[in-house]
Structure 1
Amino acid sequence: MTLRDGTPVNGHAIKAVKRVLYRAVYGSRYDDVPWSQRLYVRPGERHVRQALWRLRLRRAPLMTLAEYRQRTKLGELEEFVVCHLCGDSRQQPLFTPADPKGRWSYHVVRCPSCGFLYRNPNIRPDRLGDLYADNYSAFLTGKYAADRQRRYRLTMDAFHPVFAEGAGRRLLDFGCGAGLFLELAEQRGFDAAGVDLSPDSVVEANRRLTRARAYHGAPEDVPEIAVGGFDVITLWSVLAHLPRPLEDFRRFRSLLAPGGVLMILTVNAASLQLKAFGSEWNGFTKNHLMFYSAETMPVLLRRTGFAGVAFAPFYGDTVEAGTTKLSEPMRRRLRRAVEASDGGNMLRALAFADDEAIDRWGGGLKVRRLPKREG
């Protein structure tokens, strides 16, 4: 960030000033609430952030793809794209996420027709593997992995009883990484398999696993997976990485058995954190390409043949796990605010392949039935 005269402003200094201002306004009442959840519980802040977001959308420029191409640099791995969900080619530039060390940056635009957020220029599908070839498993098994299995368990619990008992059921973990979830699937009795684009991650996964097996490549490249018949397919923090989501989700639908379900965990493009922090939102990472919300994800699912979807609110890992101790009034306030607004910073969804899946697994969930595909 710079001042009008071009003088650079230290980002840490800005954050320090904000902390002082918030403390002056709110005191210490919300110190026990994780910083990412304070937006939901501080009086009036949620409504102010929503109003500022609507103002941002009204003020954002709207341009044709040709106009956008003229003003935007194209990288070696990239291509210009239109909205994958509705096909509108118009662009509404909103954000420019960047690494603080200057190693990467990209542009995020909004579709003015359906509201979908996506990176443009986007990564060419044939170069997607380039993002994961450089010792990616070291990242997946390092600091990043410390709390992953806890998050998996919390999400599985949110969609109980889908994951309660896996005996006699086939599961595919798409984008299985180093096998952290496949390890849990084994423990719950699933006949589990995974695929991933990172060769070293697949090696690490198979070192970790006993009965399950991880494969390098796409599902259609592995005969044991291409045959389909899966009862459950999981996408753990994978959806944002897919450059051709319609093609991938048609494939997922074809791989599901009758009564099958697709579980999705991804960053939430309607998140209050995104609206508050803009380009500095933690969902804008180096390898993320597409950003979904509870409004745009059903469009993707309907277009690819799914019969319904249910969402589970995300209150924060430490809050749900009970490691962050909140008073009961504060906990209720947080839950009400998340449920009344965006559903939390992560989007947790269960997609149903057909009516049989809804009947079998939809009990206790708020299932949104999707219209049948035209034609």
Structure 2
Amino acid sequence: MVSARRLINRIVYGSRYDRVHWTQRVYVRPGERLAREARWRWRLRRAPVVPLADYAARTPLGAIEEFVSCLMCGQSRQQPLFEPANGDGWSYRVVRCPSCGFLYRNPNVRPEHLGDLYANGYSGFLTGDYAANRQRRYRLTMDAFAPVFSDGRGRRLLDFGCGAGLFLELAEQRGFEAYGVDLSPDSVEQANARLTRARAYFGAPEDVPEIAEGGFDVITLWSVLAHLPRPLSDFSLFRRLLAPGGVLLVLTVNARSLLLKAYGPTWSGFTKNHLMFYSAETLRTLLGRTGFAGVSYAPHYGDAVEAGTDRLPEPLRRRLRRTVEAADGGNMMRALAFADQEAIARWGGDRRIHRLRTRAQARPVPAAD
């Protein structure tokens, strides 16, 4: 039986786009972008804004959870938007900050229980179907930010949330003196079995002397940012660990994505262990508040499109690229943050750099109301 949505799409678009992958349709069908953006604005206008106390009074709280205000601007009011869930029995609530637009899970996981999410069997996920194209994605992103990753000789790299070491393997191949940390002990064990010179550690960076001493030229967060319950503290630490001229790479789901606006609670970015959902704007807020000097973005057109293995006809491929560049930057957000002006001068090249205010210049966080 054809769903109502598919029937409407067939009437509006005909059969021309039936063979286009569902993740690409919103970028290539005529008028789709404008329709999704209009629907998103309508959703935000209709969603109520409530005080945190009222929201907490009617929302169940899990054993390892706590209610939080917006970590980007301090606003305590909540705009409930989604309740992602799946057949495995997990579900949570996603709210939007009515002041700065940040999307986050609320109630959120308490930081001291973050390791509970990765204690049992997480490495099986990281080395199963999820991992099939990971290294291709890493290479495509490294190429998008060339020459930062072209030659690692004489340079120190930290992969935060290194999982089973798939990226560390590439980093040591490119000559980096590479280290990794992760909260999954079985993932760390698998990483060290994979690696030759690089080394993965279980725990936090400050607990490992070789890492706590800092001096890193590159820090990478591959699909990690959405998992951090206290990003301001973490990014302040990253800034301290970077050497002068250092850079930090972020790959994360994009909360500005047209796919989020199209699919709502079933969006692919709402996974079991994701806690925070960033757009280019809210990532700039995070980086500015933690002392970074600038940030540059690379659009993400999709791994298959960038690798040339998709089946899109060339006219649709060009339309997809134009839409991504004009609209949201893609379903994944790729960003390179610069620790200081030296980093911008060394690695900025001809990229568009968004200059960030220093912590001293930033406006104070408003008091929770």
What's the counterpart of residue 290 of structure 2?
A: 304
What's the counterpart of residue 182 of structure 2?
A: 196
- Deviation readout 1:342-375 (Å, 9 max, x if unpaired): 1110000000000000011111311101112227
- Deviation readout 1:97-123 (Å, 9 max, x if unpaired): 01124x111000000110000000000
What SS does structure 2 have at the residue aligned with 1:373? coil
Amino acid in the other structure paired with 1:135: G
Correspondence for 1:94 among 51, 64, 81: 81
After superposition, residues 66-145 of structure 1 pair within 5 angstroms as: 66-101=53-88, 103-145=89-131
Where has structure 1 moved over 6 Å in runs of 4 or more? none
Alpha-carbon separation, structure 2, partners of 1:107 and 1:43: 32
* TM-score normalised by L of structure 1: 0.94
What SS does structure 1 have at the residue aligned with 2:333? strand
- Deviation readout 1:239-289 (Å, 9 max, x if unpaired): 000000000000000000000000000000011011111111110001000
Unaligned runs of 5+ in 1: 1-12
What's the counterpart of residue 368 of structure 1?
A: 354
Q: CA deviation at 1:326?
A: 2.8
- Deviation readout 1:35-69 (Å, 9 max, x if unpaired): 21110110111101000100110110111111111
Q: CA deviation at 1:19?
A: 3.0
Q: CA deviation at 1:17?
A: 4.1
What's the counterpart of residue 209 of structure 1?
A: 195
> Is the aligned partner of 1:265 residue 2:251?
yes
Q: CA deviation at 1:26?
A: 1.9
Query: RMSD value over aligned CA atoms?
Result: 1.2
> Is the aligned partner of 1:34 residue 2:21?
yes
Contact 1:196 1:217 in 2 (8 A): yes
Q: CA deviation at 1:219?
A: 0.2
What's the counterpart of residue 247 of structure 1?
A: 233
Correspondence for 2:299 among 300, 308, 313: 313
Alpha-carbon separation, structure 2, partners of 1:207 and 1:313: 34
Amino acid in the other structure paired with 2:54: E
* TM-score normalised by L of structure 2: 0.96
Amino acid in the other structure paired with 2:144: A
Correspondence for 1:61 among 34, 45, 48: 48
Aligned residues: 361
What SS does structure 2 have at the residue aligned with 1:94? strand
Correspondence for 1:178 among 149, 156, 164: 164
What's the counterpart of residue 3 of structure 1?
A: none
Q: CA deviation at 1:331?
A: 1.6
- Deviation readout 1:174-231 (Å, 9 max, x if unpaired): 0000000000001111000000000000000000000000000000000000000000
Alpha-carbon separation, structure 2, partners of 1:329 and 1:165: 35
After superposition, residues 266-285 of structure 1 pair within 5 angstroms as: 266-285=252-271
